[in-house]
Amino acid sequence: MFYSLSLYFSLTIFVLGLLYKISNWFRYSIGIEGSGIPTSARIIAAVRGIITTLFSSKIITLLRVFILDVILQARTFREDFSRWLMHMCIYGGFMLLLLMHALSKFTTAILFADYYSTLNPFLFLRDLAALLMILGLFLAMFRRYFRKGWRPATNAMDLYAILILAVIMISGILLEGAKIVSPTVFQSMVQEYLIQPDEEQIRSLSSYWVQEFGAVSPSLEGPFDSKVLQEGRVIHEMNCMQCHSRPQWGVAGYAVSRLMKPMAEELDRADLPATLWYLHFLACFLGLAYLPFSKMFHIFASPLSLMANAVMDRNTSAPANIATKQILELDACVHCGACTQRCSVAVAFGEIPNVNILPSEKIASLKALAAGRNLSSRELRTVQQGLFLCTNCNRCTLVCPVGIGLRDLWVSARELLLQRSLPESLLLSPFSLYRGLTQEFIGQTRYRNPLDLIRNAIAAGFPQEQGRDPSSPFGFGEKALLSGLNASIQANSFSHCYGCMTCSNACPVVRNYAKPGDVLGLMPHQLMHAIGLRQWDLVFESMMLWNCLGCYQCQENCPQNVQVTEILYELKNVAVSRIDKKSA
Amino acid sequence: MGPGQYTASTHAVLNKLGIEFLNLKEFNCCGYPLRNFRFRAFLLASVRNLAIAEKRALDIVTMCNCCYGNLKYAEHLMKEESALRDEINATLAREGLHYEGGIAPKHVLQVLYDDIGIEQLQANLKKTYRGLKIAVHYGCHILRPSKITQFDHPCAPTKFDQLVSITGAESVPWLTKLECCGSPLMGVNDDLSMDLTEKKLANAREAGADYLCVSCPYCLTQFDRVQNMMLSRRGSKVLLPSMLYTQLLGLCLGIDPQELRMEMNKLPITGIQQFLSENGQKRDHH
């Protein structure tokens, strides 16, 4: 009764959770593709997309991906063998146990007429699957906690996934062990399967089971008379053997039962089998009910992500479907960290403590954004910086085991975020190259607005903070700037400038304009001079800084060996932290 | 999709010349895009690559001027600034890396010019060009700052020209040869970026060049992909198609144009094969 009640209760939560999560795929959006498309249109587009795909030659691609990448997990295999092995153990064991054990009523019992859970090969296979899973979980823990090399931190959800499976597995094995050595369980089975046995028969059978199968009987002690054993064997062969293989075949449970044997009677009196039984099925039901809200939801989302990404791309698919796919992808992520391990710029995290730089950690922020959670403008800027500090090298996409189109996801999400009018200083760096090259995809208005915003933020100037030294750009004295200059070579060499203008004449940017001063503000030689005069407002408002190519013509040609380019780089670094601080 | 033309053509050329190389998955971005933003982050990124190469006792070869310039710059700082080196090493130690010093990053042009050498290279040529005029674009970060990059003379470089000349092509003199391609400002100030690109292309065309030849993926992107964008955006005509040196050389080494991914360039360059002739044969050309 309690069992069915809790089963139906958790099943209800599971189904409702599933519906809720799937509805999110059509209700939420995270990128520019989805903005302004109502849920109904998204659902219609999805149905249409699925039907046209299923009735096209793409069905072959889907089948191939399903076999190679979903079932055999070839993507994971190619990238990281030990991750593949770990996951295959867990996933293989899980599927076997789910289909042959948890759902045995609907699968094995129907497929095999003579199915008994206590009969081989089912008995052995069940334990084998459990052992595989435990091995996989062990590898997962090892990879997360003991392996050398950097990987993203394990979060609560990662730990939950490992723990819930571990509890289910361990309780199941303990339960099997406890039943093997439980006299009560033995008695009840005798009652159930033997037809009106007398004391003598029970004694013989018990003796045989104690001797041969490691069962425990409180009143019996070996060595047994061979005649008794012989009689026990006959009774066993007549009544038990058809549906019970040697318990030794339940290798894991049997091994555990050997450890329990010395205290078997105490454990039995404490009703251990029943306790473990409750623990086992309640853990299963908890896992089931919580599945849609946990990382385990990837069981559904990841295969869909793999298949969707195999037949969709942002150039040919309907924007509504791309938007839907992106939310699905957020659910498909298992936080394995493969993307971060291969990320071109993850290394920057060592100097810029923003976890959103790491692709595997961006996903959590995108989930919050997609769900419409209210983030402060400071949090939004952090996410935006993380999304923009990306070379678009696409390595994350190529290594993602669940096939998420990560680069497209970053691009799409960052462009939507950039429309929120938070100035982004990284736009003024070569990180913008990919954006420039793909501006047609972004759309002209959406492309230009953020650039205008950051330029205006610079042009608005840098009013001196009150109560600070007005001659200082940062409030902590220009000494820090001039001597430190982040140790770029001889950056204080500006003082050697004698204003010959060679740098400005060598500058291809300056030479591009008839009246460079009008467009650029201070030219390089003037910048060197203004630094000497501590005219920081002029220095930092000069658009020359942001139109500098970093081509080193100025520095190479300087007769005084002034490190003009290095100084411009340094000023840009300072200006960026000023802009970021000002608009924080 | 497979690798792009730079990866494909460089691999093909190095393989043909018998140079053994590895592609290390652990390498990260050289940090170039971070320089505007956070100098230390750039430095950490560059030095991490040097540390990985050092750990595996390998040389670093770059296919890109910016990677080359920035790795050289980082290497230089690590040598000169011991305090900075200690700080960067402290961060690298978190993942078990350390940079002691002594890795000399090389550009692929250096491997060809210095390690293999002009004569050896010439001996490997199956075909050469006749009547082909090439505008050589060095690119900034291989030349400047010359004290650090130490590739060639910053104002009168010849190595790249010599490498072009051995293919039989003529390296034409042109006005803005040593200037920037404009790529660093693409996406930041498109008009300015395209102005610079257009000026260079026009200059090279005026000098009579048939193609522009580059040694850096940023430059190629600018001269090929951005020039292609300029056609619709500025209504300009194709000024000059561009190609990678490894593509130019690859054809002479007898490598299949498809292996060099010639067809991946937005502005067609396959016409260059008309200028090719088997070594030793004479052939008239327009």
Q: What is the per-residue pLDDT for A259?
A: 96
Average pLDDT estimate for B164-176: 97
Closest C-alpha among B77, B113, B125, B124 to residue B215:
B113
Q: How far is B223 from chain A (nearest CA, A)?
A: 12
Helix (H, G, I), strand (E, B) or coil at A380: helix
Chain B residues touching A436 at Cβ < 8 A = 186-188, 190, 193
Give the separation between CA A547 and CA A562, rounded to whole angstroms: 19
Q: What angle do CA A403, A355, A162 make, to 5 degrees?
A: 60
pLDDT of B281 above 60: no
Question: Using the beta-carbon criterion (under 8 Å), do A489 and B77 form an inter-chain contact?
Answer: yes
Window A:192-211, CB contacts with B under 8 Å: none
pLDDT of A489 above 60: no
Task: List CB contacts of B212: < 8 A, sequence separation 6 or more.
Answer: B134, B135, B137, B201, B204, B223, B240, B241, B242, B243
Task: List CB contacts of B154: < 8 A, sequence separation 6 or more.
Answer: A556, B143, B144, B146, B178
DSSP string, A443-501: -HHHHHHHHHHHHHHHHT--PPPTTS-TT-SSSS-HHIIIIIGGG-TTGGGGGG-----
For B82, nearest residue in chain A (alpha carbons): A487
Window A:405-464, CB contacts with B under 8 Å: 425-437, 439, 451
Pairing of strands B276-278, B127-129: antiparallel
- Work out how many CB contacts closer than 8 A connect A with B: 164
pLDDT of A540 above 60: yes
What's the CATH architecture for B117-278?
3-Layer(aba) Sandwich (3.40)
pLDDT digit string (tens) for A263-320?
999 999 999 999 999 999 999 999 999 999 999 999 999 999 999 999 999 889 999 9
Give the separation between CA A410 and CA A422, rounded to whole angstroms: 17
Chain A residues touching B151 at Cβ < 8 A = none
Give the separation between CA A362 and CA A412, rounded to whole angstroms: 13
Single pTM value for the model: 0.92
Share of chain A above pLDDT 90, in %: 78
Q: What is the per-residue pLDDT for B265?
A: 96
Q: What is the 3-state secondary structure (H, E, C) of A321-347?
A: HHHHHHHHHHHHCCCCCHHHHHCCCHH
Residue from B28, B29, B37 to probe the interface with A (highest A Cβ count within 10 Å): B37
CATH topology for B4-107 is Glutathione S-transferase Yfyf (Class Pi); Chain A, domain 2 (1.20.1050)
Q: Is A16 on the interface with B (CB under 8 A)?
A: no
pLDDT digit string (tens) for B223-259?
999 999 999 999 988 899 999 999 999 999 999 999 9
How far is CA B207 from each of CA B1, B49, B174, B211, B271, rounded to the nearest angstrom?
37, 40, 6, 11, 19
Chain A residues touching B218 at Cβ < 8 A = 433
Average pLDDT estimate for A526-554: 91
**Residue B144 structure tokens:** 């400047």
Q: Is A484 on the interface with B (CB under 8 A)?
A: no
The DSSP letter of residue A547 is: G
Pick A547's closest partner by Cβ from B84, B146, B185.
B185
Chain B residues touching A348 at Cβ < 8 A = 31, 34, 38, 41, 44-45
Question: Using the beta-carbon criterion (under 8 Å), do B25 and A547 form an inter-chain contact?
Answer: no
Could you count the other beta carbons within 10 Å of the beta carbon of residue A292?
22
For A347, nearest residue in chain B (alpha carbons): B45
End-to-end CA distance of chain B: 37
pLDDT of B286 above 50: no
Question: Using the beta-carbon criterion (under 8 Å), do B36 and A572 form an inter-chain contact?
Answer: yes
Question: Using the beta-carbon criterion (under 8 Å), do A437 and B221 form an inter-chain contact?
Answer: yes
For B195, nearest residue in chain A (alpha carbons): A512
8 A C-beta contact, residue B165 and residue B171: yes
8 A C-beta contact, residue B97 and residue B48: yes
Sign of CA dihedral A169, A171, A175, A177: positive
Q: How confident is the model at residue A350 (pLDDT cuts 50, 70, 90)?
A: very high
Question: H-helix or E-strand containing A417?
Answer: helix A406-418
Chain B residues touching A429 at Cβ < 8 A = 33-37, 188
Question: Using the beta-carbon criterion (under 8 Å), do A546 and B95 form an inter-chain contact?
Answer: no
Question: Using the beta-carbon criterion (under 8 Å), do A347 and B28 form an inter-chain contact?
Answer: yes
Closest C-alpha among B183, B282, B285, B188 to residue B242:
B183
Pick A345's closest partner by Cβ from B45, B140, B141.
B45
Q: Is A576 on the interface with B (CB under 8 A)?
A: yes
Question: Using the beta-carbon criterion (under 8 Å), do B144 and A551 form an inter-chain contact?
Answer: yes
Q: What is the per-residue pLDDT for A479?
A: 55
For B83, nearest residue in chain A (alpha carbons): A487
Pairing of strands B211-214, B61-62: unpaired
Domain residue spans in chain B?
Answer: 4-107, 117-278
Q: Is A146 exposed, middle or buried (0-12, 13-18, 19+ CB in 10 A)?
A: exposed
Q: What is the per-residue pLDDT for A465?
A: 44
Give the separation between CA B173 and CA B156, rounded to whole angstroms: 11
Q: What is the per-residue pLDDT for A477?
A: 46
**Higher per-residue pLDDT: A555 or A480:** A555
Give the separation between CA B21 and CA A389, rounded to whole angstroms: 30
Average pLDDT estimate for A251-260: 96
Q: Is A514 on the interface with B (CB under 8 A)?
A: no
* Entry field: residues in chain B: 286
8 A C-beta contact, residue B108 and residue B63: yes
Pick B44's closest partner by Cβ from A351, A488, A576.
A351
Q: How confident is the model at residue A221 (pLDDT cuts 50, 70, 90)?
A: confident
Lowest mean pLDDT among A218-222, A447-451, B67-71, B215-219: A218-222
Q: Is A398 on the interface with B (CB under 8 A)?
A: no
Q: How far is A26 from chain B (nearest CA, A)?
A: 30
Sign of CA dihedral A162, A164, A165, A168: positive
Q: How far is B282 from chain A (nearest CA, A)?
A: 42
Pick A569's closest partner by Cβ from B39, B48, B186.
B39
For A439, nearest residue in chain B (alpha carbons): B187
Q: What is the per-residue pLDDT for A481?
A: 57
Give the separation between CA B225 and CA A308, rounded to whole angstroms: 30
8 A C-beta contact, residue B72 and residue B149: yes
Share of chain B above pLDDT 70, in %: 97
Question: Using the beta-carbon criterion (under 8 Å), do B184 and A451 form an inter-chain contact?
Answer: no
8 A C-beta contact, residue A352 and residue A426: no
**pLDDT averaged over chain B?**
94
Chain A residues touching B195 at Cβ < 8 A = 512
Chain B residues touching A572 at Cβ < 8 A = 36-37
pLDDT digit string (tens) for A181-211?
999 999 999 999 888 888 899 999 999 999 9
Chain B residues touching A551 at Cβ < 8 A = 140, 144, 179-180, 184
Chain B residues touching A428 at Cβ < 8 A = 36, 188
Window A:540-559, CB contacts with B under 8 Å: 546-547, 549-553, 555-556
Q: How far is A84 from chain B (nearest CA, A)?
A: 18
pLDDT digit string (tens) for A360-399?
999 999 999 999 999 999 999 999 999 999 999 999 999 9
